[in-house]
Amino acid sequence: MIGIEEREAVLRVMDRGVLSGYQGNWSDAFYGGEEVKELEKEWAAYFGVKHAIAVNSATSGLWAACAAVGLQKSLELDRILEIKDKRVTHLQVMSDEVIVTPYSMTCSASIPLHFGAKPIFADIEEDYYCLDVKSIEERITERTKAIIVVDLFGQPYDADAINAIAKKHGIMVIEDAAQAIGAKYKGRYAGTLGDIGVFSLNRHKHIQCGEGGVVVTDNDELAFKLRLLMNHSEAVVNDAAIKEDIFWEYERLVGMNIRMTELQAAIAREQLKKLVGILQTVREHAKYFPVKVRPDCEHAYYRYAFPERKSPMEWANIGLSLKEFNTKRHYITPLYKLPLFKALGYDQEQCPVCQDVEEKIVLCWLKGVG
């Protein structure tokens, strides 16, 4: 889906000679260059959000989101021991917990580990493959800080039910919409349904700029934290505090450089213009596959995912040329079975629906898209 428009956009940046407009200090360049700023404005307008922050990948965006909601581990008093008239305090590491899915790309479960937080696997829905609301509720504890929901294969999560539980318990919802760009739930775009949403622009997605991502939120406080975190917050806060006597409340944020370049942003701007046409194409082909769509949702069909019921010949017999499609009878191994999570003691995790789905699922997608 790369064409002359993207080529011209890249040349526009090359002719300008500035490949990144960012500086890691409190100045106009803190917000990036012309292409990045325009992409963020266009993205926010398209998806109907207050804030859109361009980053270098969706994985980086998830990291920034987890940092912005304050994931951490801390030392807390466990008990006081009396030993020969001496009081001995015993400190215990108490980690935040984040409820995650076992059935997605690894980063949606592994990112909390960067903060010393503990990912807690909940089971998935049998028909829609997103996190199951009942399984989430069973796993909420006093340490639960956030839920990372994934709009898997382009299907929006059960936003009303999960958001209600999160609100009840004072938990933040981070929405991984990497696979669901353009999907909708009750008229709202996937990625805008939780407290923070994360989109992917890597080469496998409907629209792309090689590598890249966009983080969105309607929360002003979270948005400013996200901007600090993705662009050397400790240096920016220091400069701002010296110059303007503000921002000391953010002095403990430790930032990174996860900024998008002008070249990526220029390509992404052109790709965004093509999204409607791409979605129309993948939705036209959805009629050939028995994909279940959540009520009141518009699926983005990153993958046509369904239990195996038809052979390739049966698909051909319904008038579909399989030469147009890639087909795969497996997605991923449930994450708690991976060496990392097994080493951390997750080998006994039980998610029976996920186990069943793994054995039966079929994935198809249109060649040239994703």
Cite the active site residues.
205
Determine whether 151 is exposed, middle or buried from the number of CB atoms within 10 Å of its CB (0-12, 13-18, 19+). buried
**């407009």: which residue's tokens?**
21
- Within 13 A of 350's CA, how many CA atoms are on the CB side? 2
Whether residue 51 contacts residue 206, with contact meaning beta carbons closer than 8 Å, is answered with no
Please provide the DSSP assignment of 201-259 as one string.
Answer: -STTSSS--SS-EEEEES-HHHHHHHHHHTBTHHHHHHHHHHHHS--GGGTT----B-P
Structure tokens at 82: 């009396």
- Amino acid 252 reads R
Whether residue 172 contacts residue 196, with contact meaning beta carbons closer than 8 Å, is answered with yes
Q: How far apart (Å, rounded) are the C-alpha atoms in residues 131 and 353?
A: 11
- In what side-by-side order are the strands of the sheet with 144-150? 51-55, 213-217, 196-200, 172-176, 144-150, 97-100, 118-121
3-class SS at 360?
helix
Structure tokens at 138: 């069973």
Q: How far apart (Å, rounded) are the C-alpha atoms in residues 334 and 303?
A: 18
